[in-house]
């Protein structure tokens, strides 16, 4: 029997609902329960795929090719449970589904309304595609009181009623700010937020109160009294110096225990938190540090590279080093001198995913710097494409090498070493794209196999012949350039099984120079760092001893 835990937020956004959901899931999992996490996003985009990364943060891609909210990354990293398309939905997709059905005539002449048609669609989504998990933890994006959130709150209220309180729990995350002039923690915003929630018919049974210090018992009692719940169910969600501390703190504050009590479930066995403690110890007391330059174009919002940052942290923990990031906006790399000035002291250079022309010449300069100076280089998706353009221009004598992604009308004037993907194989099917299809949901997305060349560096790193990694791209290295680049020392060490799509390149005569067409960061876990990231940070550690 699946129990449903709904996590809503109030007072302000960015309190970390996603992390709260993920941490609770990890605690329940560690007590032996089977969990699944889901997110409902009230915005009107059909998915986050077409949103700018600096607005919304990274787009997290699942094995089945869904383009989802970055909170699903937290869910996967904290629980190891692979997310699916059925774990994230937006108001945009829900409305699209309802309207498409209306156009087909499926509603048999009824008037289509938010209640019940949209709310029914939300309820169906919450309860669909479950495999008998013990708990489904469902996070509602935004904060209570947002106009576009209303149908979602109404739907989960109804859902809770339908399944009954013995199978549904409402947890509300709020902020208890410390007002320094008064020297006090203030409970009023929490009271207001709960009132707002009550206004849409939801009485939370547990309050998670985010605070920068412990909330004294008297304040917790006050919140309990005004918000109509038991004192033990007002839990302090303390600010943490590392996200891996969050499950530990929650447990210490009794969060998971209260959840079990609510459902009348036994409080034993206790969760084994030693693996989390070990990570926290290493994160707090590393034995050294390495500096990695992240040369990207969305550097103004660090969430744009959330999974890359997490994967670097995991790899750092594996090597017991702190990974210091040096953020470099590729657009500022207008000259080689600037590149040298910015990158002279770093121990590794990572060029992550990206779209469009802006900043590309800077990324190409960074790739050249790394190749010539023998600094470890990790090119991810766009970063691989830039490294190939660089090699084509400066090693293979193709000064006009470029990508059709940003050649615009001048396609005839470039050597398209990177070109639009118009046909590829997915499983037993051939996928096709026309040059001017819609931008939303049309990239090559999700997990695809790649075969690694025996004896190559990546073959050694992965320790296997066939790998499965997640993709999200519209353009691809032109396989026709393989022989020419290999003659110049760039090895195509990973290819799609049909041999048509270059998936990995490396430079054997370099300490560590690897470009991958996929996004390995999406599969890195704190307890299972991704082999490529681990190896890259290992190379950076070696580099740090040289400079």
Looking at 297-435, which runs of residues are DSSP E strands? 321-329, 348-351, 377-380, 401-403, 415-420, 423-426, 429-432
Question: What residue has token string 């009294």?
Answer: 225
Residue 520 interacts with ligand GLN (CB under 6 A): yes or no: no
Q: Which stretch binds ligand GLN (CB under 6 A): 195-203, 281-289, 449-457, 467-475?
A: 467-475
475 binds ligand GLN (CB under 6 A): yes
Q: Which residues neighbour 280 within 8 Å (Cβ) at sequence distance 6 or greater? A: 242, 244, 245, 248
Question: Is 170 or 475 the residue whose CB approaches ligand GLN more closely?
Answer: 475
Instruction: Pick the closest to residue 20 from 214, 273, 28 (CA basis).
Output: 28
Count interface residues toward ligand GLN (CB under 6 A). 10
CB-nearer residue toward ligand GLN: 210 or 472? 472
CB of 384 to ligand GLN, least distance (A): 8
Q: How far is the CB of 406 from ligand GLN (least distance, A)?
A: 9
Nearer to ligand GLN, 475 or 536 (CB): 475
Q: Where do the H-state alpha helices sit in 33-70?
A: 53-56
Q: 316-332 in b/e burial notation, b at 16+ Cβ within 10 A?
A: bbbbebbbebbebbbee
Which two tokens mark 293? Answer: 């330059």
Alpha carbon distance 481, 536 (integer Å): 26
Residue of 293, 309, 297 lying closest to 341 (CA atoms): 293
* Least distance from ligand GLN to the Cβ atom of residue 452, Å: 21
Using only C-alpha atoms, what is the Rg of the chain? 25
> How far is the C-alpha of 393 from the C-alpha of 402, rounded, in Å?
9
Q: Which one among 473, 491, 523, 530 touches ligand GLN, defined by CB under 6 A?
A: 473
For residues 231 and 237, the answer to whether their CB atoms sit within 8 Å is no
Spatial distance between the Cα atoms of 452 and 186, rounded to a whole number of angstroms: 58
Among 4, 159, 250, 382, binds ligand GLN (CB under 6 A): 382
Query: Which of the residues are catalytic?
Result: 381, 519, 521
Residues 297-356 that bind ligand GLN (CB under 6 A): 353-355
**Cβ-based nearer residue to ligand GLN, 52 or 161:** 52
DSSP reduced 3-state for 376: coil
Q: Per-residue contact track with ligand GLN, 395 to 434, x per CB under 6 A?
A: ----------x-----------------------------
Under the binding rule (CB under 6 A), the answer on residue 536 touching ligand GLN is no
Find the shortest distance in angstroms from Cβ 147 to ligand GLN.
33
User: Cβ closer to ligand GLN: 18 or 353?
Assistant: 353
Among 320, 474, 482, 525, binds ligand GLN (CB under 6 A): 474
Q: At its nearest, how many Å lie between ligand GLN and the CB of residue 345?
A: 27
* Stretch touching ligand GLN by CB under 6 A, among 223-231, 409-417, 469-477, 487-495: 469-477
Residue 107 structure tokens: 């509603």
Applying CB under 6 A, the span of 188-196, 234-242, 291-299, 470-478 interacting with ligand GLN comes to: 470-478
The 10 Å Cβ neighbour count of residue 178 is 13
Nearer to ligand GLN, 4 or 475 (CB): 475
Looking at the Cβ atoms of 76 and 405, the one nearer to ligand GLN is 405
Task: Cis check for the bond before 269: say yes or no (omega within 30 of 0).
Answer: yes
Tokens in use for 461? 């790193």
- Helices and strands per DSSP (H, E), number in the chain: 18, 25
Least Å from the CB of residue 386 to ligand GLN = 9
Q: Rule CB under 6 A: which residues touch ligand GLN?
A: 353-355, 381-382, 405, 472-475
């Amino acid at each position: 029997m699946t129990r449903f835990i709904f996590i809503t937020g109030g007072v302000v956004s960015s309190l970390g609902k996603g992390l709260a959901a993920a941490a609770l899931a990890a605690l329940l999992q560690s007590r032996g329960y089977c969990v699944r996490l889901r997110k409902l996003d009230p915005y009107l985009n059909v998915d986050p795929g077409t949103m700018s990364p600096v607005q919304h943060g990274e787009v997290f891609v699942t094995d089945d090719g869904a383009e989802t909210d970055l909170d699903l990354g937290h869910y996967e990293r904290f629980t190891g449970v692979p997310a699916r398309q059925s774990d994230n939905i937006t108001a945009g997709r829900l409305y699209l589904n309802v309207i498409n059905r209306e156009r087909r005539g499926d509603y048999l002449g009824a008037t289509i309304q938010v209640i019940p048609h949209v709310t029914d669609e939300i309820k169906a989504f919450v309860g669909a595609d479950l495999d008998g998990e013990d708990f489904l933890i469902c996070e509602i994006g935004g904060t209570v009181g947002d106009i576009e959130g209303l149908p979602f709150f109404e739907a989960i209220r109804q859902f809770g009623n339908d399944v009954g309180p013995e199978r549904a729990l409402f947890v509300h995350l709020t902020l208890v700010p410390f007002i320094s002039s008064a020297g006090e923690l203030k409970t009023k915003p929490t009271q207001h937020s709960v009132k707002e929630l009550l206004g849409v018919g939801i009485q939370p049974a547990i309050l998670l109160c985010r605070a920068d210090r412990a909330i004294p018992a008297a304040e917790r009692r006050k919140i309990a009294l005004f918000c109509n719940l038991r004192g033990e169910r007002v839990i302090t969600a303390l600010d943490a110096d590392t996200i891996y501390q969050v499950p530990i703190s929650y447990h210490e504050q009794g969060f998971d225990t209260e959840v079990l009590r609510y459902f009348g479930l036994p409080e034993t066995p206790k969760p084994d938190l030693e693996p989390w403690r070990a990570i926290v110890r290493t994160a707090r007391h590393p034995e050294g540090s390495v500096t990695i330059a992240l040369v990207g174009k969305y550097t103004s919002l660090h969430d744009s590279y959330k999974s890359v940052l997490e994967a670097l942290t995991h790899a750092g923990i594996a090597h017991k080093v702190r990974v210091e990031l040096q953020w470099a906006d590729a657009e500022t790399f207008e000259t080689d001198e600037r590149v040298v000035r910015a990158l002279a002291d770093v121990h590794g250079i990572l060029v992550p995913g990206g779209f469009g022309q802006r900043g590309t010449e800077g990324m190409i300069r960074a790739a050249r710097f790394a190749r010539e100076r023998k600094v470890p280089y990790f090119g991810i998706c766009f970063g691989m494409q830039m490294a190939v353009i660089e090699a084509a221009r400066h090693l293979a004598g193709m000064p006009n090498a470029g990508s059709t992604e940003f050649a615009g009308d001048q396609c005839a004037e470039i050597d398209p070493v990177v070109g639009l993907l118009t046909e590829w194989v997915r499983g037993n099917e051939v996928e096709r794209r026309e040059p001017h299809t819609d931008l939303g949901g049309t990239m090559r997305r999700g997990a695809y196999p790649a075969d690694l060349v025996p004896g190559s560096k990546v073959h050694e790193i992965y320790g296997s012949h066939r790998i499965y990694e997640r993709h999200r791209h519209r353009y691809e290295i032109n396989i026709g350039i393989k022989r020419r680049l290999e003659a110049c020392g760039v090895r195509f060490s990973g290819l799609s099984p049909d041999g048509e799509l270059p998936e990995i390149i490396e430079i054997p005569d370099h300490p560590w120079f690897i470009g991958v067409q996929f996004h390995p960061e999406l599969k890195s876990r704190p307890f299972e760092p991704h082999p490529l990231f681990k190896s890259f940070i290992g190379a950076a550690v070696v580099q740090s001893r040289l400079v």
